[in-house]
A and B are shown apart, each in its own frame.
Chain A
Amino acid sequence: MTERKPGFSTLAVHAGSVPDAATGARATPIYQTTSFVFEDVDQAAALFGLQAFGNIYTRITNPTTAVLEGRIASLEGGTAALAVASGHAAQLGVFHTIMQPGDEFIASTKLYGGSINQFNQSFKSFGWNVKWADPDDIASFEKALSPKTKAIFVESIANPGGIITDMEPLAEIAKKAGIPLIVDNTLATPYLCRPFEHGADIVVHSLTKFMGGHGNSMGGAIVDGGTFDWSASDKFPLVSQPRPEYQGIIIHETFGNFGFAIACRVLGLRDLGAALSPFNAFQILTGIETLPLRMEKHCANALEVASFLDNHPAVEWVCYAGLKSDPGYKLHQKYAPKGAGAVFTFGVKGGYDAGVELVGRAELLSHVANIGDTRSLIIHPASTTHRQLSDEQRVSAGAGPEVVRLSIGIEDAEDIIGDLEQGLAAS
C-alpha cells in the first residue's frame, strides 16, 4: 500500500503537531517557559554543539513555536521553517544569513511600504545595499545584477495593490546568477500560492496577517525551500563555511537541505534576538487551522466588493487581479487560481482629500494599518503606511494620492459593500 499524501486542509490542522509526549494533551500546549533543564553536562554539551535535537532556551527554540514552524514548512512545501517575532524580523533574519557588508540585493519596487523603508534605511546602515527593479519590466532585474548581488526579493501578491508577481522568469534570472529568489508570501498564503513550486528558494511571511488571521498576534516566518545549493559558490559563507562558534561545523554539510533554516536560527536568531512568544505561536497556530476556510471566504468577498467598486461612479479605477478586466488576471490564473487574495486598492474620484474622507466615514470597516484580519479594514496609504516615502516612490509602489487600500474580511459581503456604499455616496 502506498502511503497517502495528506491534502492541504489536513496539513493545516495536523502538520507539525502530535499529542503532547508527557500528558497526551491533544491541542498544542503553550510552553510558556524561557528554558529547559538538562539531564547532565554531556547532554547539555550535545545540545549546545548542535549534535542532538532538543530545546535549550526559548530565544532559539521552543516546543510550541516548533509546531508552528513545522506546520508552515509543511504547508509551503519547504524543508524547515523558523518563526520569529514579526514579518520584519523574518526579513532581517534572512538577509543577515545571506549578506555581508557591501553586498547588494535586488528588490521589487512593488512591496509593502514598511519593507521599502527597512531596505532603504536600516539595511543600508548595515552595508546591505538594495537595488530596485520593476516587476513589470523583468529585464530591469537582470540589469540590476552585479557580482555583489546576493538575492532577489519580491512579494507573490504585492501590498498594497494586490498585484501578482511573475515569479518564474525571476527564478530563472536568480538561478543563472547563482543566487536565491526570496518571496514574501504574506498576502497569498500557501493556500493560494506556493512559491517553491514556481522556483523560489526561500519564502518569508508576516504571520501577523492572513496566516494568524485574527488580527491578534504579531509573528513572522522564514521557510527554507531546501533546493538552493549554498555550497556551489563562496557567496554564502555563513551557510557554507566552518563556523568558529560551533567548533568549525559547516552548517550546509551537517544539515543538508534544511541548513539555511538552521543557519537563520543558530546564527541569526541567536544573535539578533527577535524570538516569537510561545503564546503568539499558539494563537497563530490556532488561526492556521482554519486558513483554507478563511481564505475561501476572504477571496469570495473580495471579488464581490471589487466588482461592486468597479461599477461605482465615484470610483476611478479598481486594481484587483480577480477581475477579468484586470491586467493581472492572467498572472492570477497562473500563480493563485483559487483566489486573487483579499487586499487590493482602488482610486476614488477627488484624489487625496476624497481618499481621506472615505476612510473617515467607514462604520463597519476599521481604519487600521493592518491587513489579513477577519474584520474588513480600510486605509489611505498615502497619508499613513506609505507616508514616509517620496511622491515618486509612492506612485511606483501603487500608493498614489487617490489610492484607498482594502483588506476584505470574512463578514457578509453585503454588509461590507453596504458600508462602502454609504461612504462613497456622501462624496
Chain B
Amino acid sequence: MNHDSYEDAYIRGILMASRTVAIVGASANKVRPSYFVTTYLDSKGFDVIPVNPGKAGQQIAELDTVGSLAEIDRPVDLVDIFRKSDVAVGVVQEALKMDPLPKVIWMQLSVKNYEAARLAEDAGLKVVMNRCPKIEYARLCGEIGWSGVSSGVITSRKPKLLKGIQRFSIVK
C-alpha cells in the first residue's frame, strides 16, 4: 500500500480497533516526544506498555516497562516504533515472533522503512509510517484544533466528550 498519505478512515479505524499499545523506544525523559505519546495514549484509555531495555522491570510514566516485545505478557494490538528508521526491520522481526501477532506496525513521525513495512504487510499486519499516534488521535478527535493546528477534518458531527475537562475521544 501507499505510505505517502493515508485516508482518515484508515488511521481512525486503526486507532479505534487498538486497545493495547507497545511503545518501542519509550523514554523516561519527560521532555522526549516518546514520553508525551506514552502519557497521551494512556490518558485516552489505551493499555500502554513502554518497551525500553534500560528500564526493564521499572516504570515509565507510572506504567510497567519491559525490556523487549518478547517479555510482554498479553496480546498487543499495535506496536509503535520510536527508534531510528534503520532498526525498524529488527523491531518488526521481533514483533512477528509474538503470539498472537500484533495487528498493526506503526512507525513514528520521521521513522520510515519500506522493507519493515513490507515484512509486516506480508504477514497480514497493517502499517502506518512517518506518523505520530498522538497527533493523529488529537487531529481526529478534534483536540489538536485548540492549538491552532489544521485538523483537515470537515464534519458536522459533534465531538465526543470523555469524562473530565477538555478531553475528546475519536468517534466513527
Contacts and interface: CB of A to CB of B under 8 A. Distances in A.
Interface of A: 2-3, 6, 10-11, 14-16, 18-22, 24, 36-39, 43, 46, 49-55, 61, 63, 65-67, 69-70, 73-74, 78-83, 242, 246-249, 253-254, 256, 258, 261-262, 265
Contacts of B166: 36, 53-55
15 contacts: A3-B7, A15-B154, A18-B155, A21-B168, A49-B30, A51-B36, A52-B40, A53-B146, A63-B146, A66-B145, A74-B150, A81-B150, A249-B31, A254-B31, A256-B110
Contacts of B150: 15-16, 70, 73-74, 78-81
A3 B9 contact: yes
A55 B146 contact: yes
Interface string B137-172: 010001111111111101111111100111010000
Contact of A61 (B8, B146, B156, B157): B146
Interface residues of B, number: 39
Nearest to A16: B145
Interface string B113-137: 0000000000000000000100100
B159 to A, nearest CB: 4
B85 interface: no
B109 interface: yes
A258 B165 contact: no
A258 B138 CA distance: 14
A246 B148 CA distance: 19
A39 B145 contact: no
Contacts of A265: 147-148
Given A19-B157, A43-B165, A55-B166, A258 B149 contact: yes
In the complex, which of the residues A16, A67, A249 has the most CB atoms of chain B within 10 Å of its own CB atom?
A16
Interface string B94-114: 000000000000000110000
A18 B159 contact: yes
A120 B156 CA distance: 47
Nearest to A55: B146
Contacts of B168: 21
Contact of A51 (B8, B40, B152): B40
Interface string B5-16: 001110000000
B75 interface: no
Contacts of B157: 18-19
A11 B155 CA distance: 11
B31 A80 contact: no
B68 interface: no
Contacts of B158: 18-21, 24
B143 to A, nearest CB: 4
Nearest to A68: B148
Nearest to A2: B7
